[in-house]
Structure 1
Amino acid sequence: MTTNTQKLSLPENPRHFGLYINGRWVETAGRKVMERYSPAHGVLVTKTTGGTEKDVNEAVAVARKAFDNRSWAGLSGQLRADVLLKAANLIRDRAEELAVLETLETGKPITQSRGEIQASAGIYEYAAGAARMLHGDSFNNLGDNVFGLVTREPIGVVGLITPWNFPFFILSERLPFILASGCTVVAKPSDLTSATTLIMAEILTQAGLPDGVFNVVTGAGSVVGEVLSHHPDIDMLSFTGSTAVGKRVLAASAGNFKKLSLELGGKNPHVVFADARLEEAVDGVIFGFCFNAGQCCVGGSRLLVEKSIQAEFEHLLIEKLGRLRVGDPLDPETQVGAIVSDKQHETICDYIERGTKQGARLLTQGTVSTTVKGLFVQPTIFSDVTSEMDIATDEIFGPVLSILPFETVNEAITIANTTIYGLSATIWTQNLSHAMDAVRGIRAGRVWVNTTISGGPELPAGGFKQSGIGRETGIYGVEEYTEIKATHIAFGPRTPWVS
C-alpha cells in the first residue's frame, strides 16, 4: 500500500467511465469517448463519455420525476442528513482513489488533492447539519383571526456546472447544500476533470440517495452545458467558471427565468501595509498566487504594497520564491504542479510575454524541476506594474503576480477596486483601523485579514460586480436553492364582501 510519503506511480491503464443517470451507470455505447491525458506526464489516465442532448433531456426528465414524486424533497431534514453523513464516510473510505484521480486529471500536487478530498468530506457533514437547520418563520402579529407562515421549499431541478480547477472541492461546496434543500440535480463537470464527480454519484447511491436525485452527464460545454443552460425544465442553474461564459449562461436563463448562482472570474488584491508582519505576508502572498499553480479563482494575483516597504518586500519575495518546490504532482514533496491544459499553458505564457512588452519589470521567476516535462510554468513576479496593463486587469489564471505600490489607505482601496471583478481580497496589517477601512472599502465577496484562501463551509462564498451573483456554502448556500412561500391562514367566519 502506498503511504503518504512515497511517490506514486502512473497507472498502467486508463479508467473508463460512462454517464450516471437514475442511480446507475450508462455505458458509452456509440457515444464519443473523451480521452484525458495527465498534464504533468502526457499519459492517458481516464476515458469519459461525451453526452448528447438526448442524454441531458433524459437526465432532466429523471430528475424532474424524482423531484415531483418527493422521494427526496418529501423526506425530513434528519433523513437527508443521514444520507449526507454516510456520503462523508464513504468519501473518506475512497479518499486515496479520489485524490489520485484528481491529481492525474488536474495536475495538482497529490498532497493538495488529499487535503481537498478530506475537507470535502467535512463539508458534507456540515451540510448534513444545515439540512436539519433549514426553517421558515411565523407571524403571530396579524390579529386573532389570521396566522402567517413563511416556508422555504426546494426550488426544483438544479443544473450544476463545475470547473476543472477544483473539480471535487467545488462540487462539494455546492452539491451537498443543494441536496440538503431537497432539490434534485443534473451535473456537468468539466470535460477535462470528470472522474471524481462520477465517482461521487456512485458514492451517493451507496449512501442511500434515491435514484434520479443526482445525475451526471459528462461531455463538452458546447453540448451538455448549452442544453442545461437553455433547458425549460431546469429551475435553477449553478455555474462556476469564467465571466465570459457566465454572461452567456445569464442570457440563456431568460428562456424560463431560471434562478442563477454564478461564481465567476477574479483579479484579487493582496494589500500589504508597512506595519504588517512581513515574513507572514510574504508567505501568504506566494501561497495566494502559486496555490494550484495560480489556477484559483480567489487567489491573489495583484500585490498592492505600501511604497515605503516595497523594496524590502520584493527582496523577501525573491528569496522565498526560490525555495518553492515546483514539479511532479505525484511527488508528496511538490508544492506546485502542472497547468491543466495546453490552451491554458499558452494563455499564461502569452500574458508573461505581454507583461514584458507593456513595460512591467520582470522581478523574478521561480524554477521548475528539470526532471519533469509536462505543462509547467515558472511562478513569475512583475514589478513597476500600472493598473492599465493587461497583467493587472485580466484574469490570467496562472502563477503570475503583479506588484502595484500605494501610499495611503484610500489609494490602496481605489487600486483594489479598479477592476470589473470583486471575488476576494486579502489584507495584511497589524493596524485595526487600516484593516477595517480596507474591509469596508474593498468591494469583494470574501475578504481575509492576515490569512488567505482559508476557512471552512460555515461562511458564504460569492462575488461582487462581474465576479458573480448568489452565494454558496453556509446556511446561505442551502437557502439559495429554495423558494420562499408566504401563507395566510384565516380563522373564524369570513366577513362578506357581497351582502
Structure 2
Amino acid sequence: MHENQLPATPRRFQMFIDGRWTDGHGNQLTTRHSPGHGTPVAQWPAGTAQDAKDAIRAARTAFDTGPWPRMPAAERAKVLFKVADLIEQNVDELGLIECLETGKPITQAKGEIRGAADVWRFAAGASRSMAGETLNNLGDRLLALVLRQPLGVIGVITPWNFPFFILAERLPFLLAAGCTAVVKPSEATSGTTLRLGELLQQAGLPDGVVNLVSGHGSEVGQVLLDSDLVDMVSVTGSTGTGRKAIQASVGNIKKLGLELGGKNPHVVFADANLDDAADGVAFGMAFNAGQCCVGASRLVVHRSIAEVFTQKLAAKMRRIVVGDPLDPATQVGALFDEAHMHKVLSYIDGGVALGATVVAGGGRTGCEKGNFVQPTLLTNVTAEMPLLRDEIFGPVLAVIPFDTFEDAIRIANDTEFGLSASIWTQDVNLALRAMREVQAGRVWINTTLDNGPEAPMGGMKQSGIGRDAGLAGIEEYTEVKTAHINLQPRTHWIGASDGL
C-alpha cells in the first residue's frame, strides 16, 4: 500500500472569477479519470463562453481601475512571495492532485510543485528590477525617457502535460509586470490551477487580478483569443493550436506568446562520455513519459559509435521503472489518456511496417487499467517515416547516424521545429560550434532538461514566438513607451506674421 491512495470519490473543484468561487453559467461537469488507474479522481465545471466573458470583464476592470497595476513593485513582490510560500506549504496536496490527473509519478509531481514555488520566488524578486532607460545623448535640447508599462489583460492557455509548472513560468511574471489575467487550464487537468486560486486569495491578491476558468478550448479559449478586451494571449500547446491562435489574433492584432511543439535532437559525438550520454538521453526521452515539449525524440549519433551506444542506451532504457504513478519508486508513469496511448503506439507500429527496427520497448506494459507504454528505441529509421517528422509526445526515440559535423547539424536542423537540442561531447570547441549552429531556443551541453527561472526560454521556427522566464519573461508582458522632452525654447517652424 502506498502512502498516497486513490480518493474514494472525485475531488470537486470550482472556477474562480472576480474573487468568487462559482460553477458558472453551465450545468455540465468534467470528470477526470486517473490515466494510471482508470478511476475518477476530480471534477470541475465545463465553463461556457459567458464564464470567459465574465472573467475577462473582471480582469479588465481590475487592470483599468484596480490597485494591482498601480502599486509599487515592492508591494506586488510581497504578494508573490506569499504565494510561493503557500505553494511550498501545500506540496504534498498539490503533488497528489497533479499525479492523479496527469499520470506522472508522485515524486516527479511533487518536484515540479517545489520547482514552481522557486519560479514564483524569482518572479517576485525580479519584479523590482523592471526598469526603463533614459537617453541623454540627443543633444542639449532633448531628453528621452523609455518607460515599461504593464501590457494589460493577459489570457493564459496551458496544456495538460505540466499544468502547474507551465503556469508558474507565465503567471507570476505577468503579475510581476502589473498585468491581470484570465487562465484557462487544460480541460483534462484543471485541478492544481483551480486550487491555486485559493492560495492567491490567501496571499492577498486583489479580486479580479487572476481569474480561473475551466472548460474546452473551443468554448473558453476561443473567447480569450477573440476578445477585444484581452491585450495578449499566452498559449502553450501544439503547433496546430498555435496556428489557430495566430488566425484568431488577426481580429484585434492581439499580441501572442506561443510555446509550441518540438522534435528535438540529442547529438552524440564520437568523443562523448558514453555512459553519461546514455543516461542523459534515456532521461530526456522518457521523462514525463515522453510528454515533454523540450524532451528529445531524435538521437543523432556518430556512426563510429552508433552500434555500441545504441546497445548501451537500450540497456539503460530497459531498466527504467514504468508503473503506478503513486509508487515512489516509479520513474515513468502513464500516458495522458487511452487515445493518446494508442496514437503513440501507432507511430511505433507504423515505423516498423516501413522497416524500422525495435531495439528496446515497442509496446504496452503494466496494468491494463492504465495507459502505460514501454520506453522505445528504434533504428533503421528513414526520413519519410512519420515517427521521424511528427511530434509523437511519447517515450519513443529514433536513431539517425551521422558521419561529419556538418551532417550532424544538417540532420539536427532538418525539422520545422526549433525548441531544444542536447549536445554530448568532451571537445569544448565542438560543443560551442554545435551550440551556435543548431537551430533551437534552448541548448544543453552534456546535460538535458536542466533549467532555472533566471534564464529565458522559448522556441525558434515553428516552435514558438516570444520568451518566458528570466527578466525577459517580465518584459514580455510590458509595453515600451518612449517620451521625448524638450528642454529649451522652441525654434518656431512658422515665421512671425508682420501683422501681429
TM-score, with structure 2 as normaliser = 0.97
Query: Match for residue 168 of structure 2?
Result: 172
Segments of 5+ residues of structure 1 without an aligned counterpart are none
Q: Out of 325, 338, 342, which is 1:342 matched to? A: 338
Contact 1:457 1:473 in 2 (8 A): yes
Contact 1:328 1:372 in 2 (8 A): no
Query: Match for residue 430 of structure 1?
Result: 426
Q: Out of 134, 138, 141, which is 2:134 matched to? A: 138
Query: Match for residue 183 of structure 2?
Result: 187
Contact 1:293 1:398 in 2 (8 A): yes
Query: Match for residue 294 of structure 1?
Result: 290
Deviation at 1:144, TM superposition (A): 2.7
- Find the residue that maps to 1:128 and give its secondary structure: helix
Q: Cα RMSD over matched residues?
A: 1.3
| Whole-Å separation in 2 of the counterparts to 1:269 and 1:367 | 23
Establish whether residue 459 from structure 1 lines up as the match of residue 455 from structure 2.
yes
| Whole-Å separation in 2 of the counterparts to 1:112 and 1:176 | 22
Establish whether residue 473 from structure 1 lines up as the match of residue 469 from structure 2.
yes
- Find the residue that maps to 1:255 and give its secondary structure: coil
Query: Match for residue 310 of structure 1?
Result: 306
Query: Match for residue 421 of structure 1?
Result: 417
Deviation at 1:14, TM superposition (A): 1.0
Establish whether residue 104 from structure 1 lines up as the match of residue 100 from structure 2.
yes
| Whole-Å separation in 2 of the counterparts to 1:27 and 1:161 | 19
Query: Match for residue 53 of structure 2?
Result: 57
Query: Match for residue 24 of structure 1?
Result: 20
Establish whether residue 260 from structure 1 lines up as the match of residue 256 from structure 2.
yes
| Whole-Å separation in 2 of the counterparts to 1:370 and 1:54 | 43
Query: Match for residue 373 of structure 1?
Result: 369
Q: Out of 206, 213, 217, which is 1:217 matched to? A: 213
Indicate the larger mover: 282-291 or 384-393. Answer: 384-393
Query: Match for residue 245 of structure 2?
Result: 249
Contact 1:326 1:368 in 2 (8 A): no
Establish whether residue 355 from structure 1 lines up as the match of residue 351 from structure 2.
yes
Deviation at 1:370, TM superposition (A): 4.2
| Whole-Å separation in 2 of the counterparts to 1:18 and 1:82 | 26
| Whole-Å separation in 2 of the counterparts to 1:431 and 1:386 | 29
Residues 338 and 288 of structure 1: is their aligned pair in 2 closer, same or farther, counting only changes over 3 Å? same
Query: Match for residue 405 of structure 1?
Result: 401
Query: Match for residue 158 of structure 2?
Result: 162
Residue identity (%): 54
Indicate the larger mover: 162-171 or 356-365. Answer: 356-365
| Whole-Å separation in 2 of the counterparts to 1:204 and 1:134 | 22
Write the letter of the residue equivalent to 1:443.
Answer: Q
| Whole-Å separation in 1 of the counterparts to 2:353 and 2:483 | 63
| Whole-Å separation in 2 of the counterparts to 1:231 and 1:370 | 45
Write the letter of the residue equivalent to 1:141.
Answer: N
Segments of 5+ residues of structure 2 without an aligned counterpart are none
Q: Out of 424, 439, 443, which is 1:447 matched to? A: 443
Contact 1:325 1:368 in 2 (8 A): no
Deviation at 1:371, TM superposition (A): 5.0
Establish whether residue 393 from structure 1 lines up as the match of residue 400 from structure 2.
no
| Whole-Å separation in 2 of the counterparts to 1:372 and 1:337 | 13
| Whole-Å separation in 1 of the counterparts to 2:248 and 2:360 | 43
Residues 335-359 of structure 1 show CA distances to partners (whole Å, capped at 9, x for unaligned) of 0000111221121011011110111
Deviation at 1:369, TM superposition (A): 6.2
Contact 1:290 1:399 in 2 (8 A): yes
Write the letter of the residue equivalent to 2:319.
Answer: R
Deviation at 1:317, TM superposition (A): 1.3
Residues 368-396 of structure 1 show CA distances to partners (whole Å, capped at 9, x for unaligned) of 76456311111111001122211111000
- Find the residue that maps to 1:206 and give its secondary structure: helix
| Whole-Å separation in 1 of the counterparts to 2:380 and 2:372 | 25
Deviation at 1:141, TM superposition (A): 1.5
Contact 2:348 2:362 in 1 (8 A): no
Residues 285-318 of structure 1 show CA distances to partners (whole Å, capped at 9, x for unaligned) of 0001100000000001000010000111111112
How many residues are treated as equivalent by the alignment? 495
Contact 1:327 1:372 in 2 (8 A): no
TM-score, with structure 1 as normaliser = 0.97
Deviation at 1:65, TM superposition (A): 0.4
Deviation at 1:12, TM superposition (A): 1.0
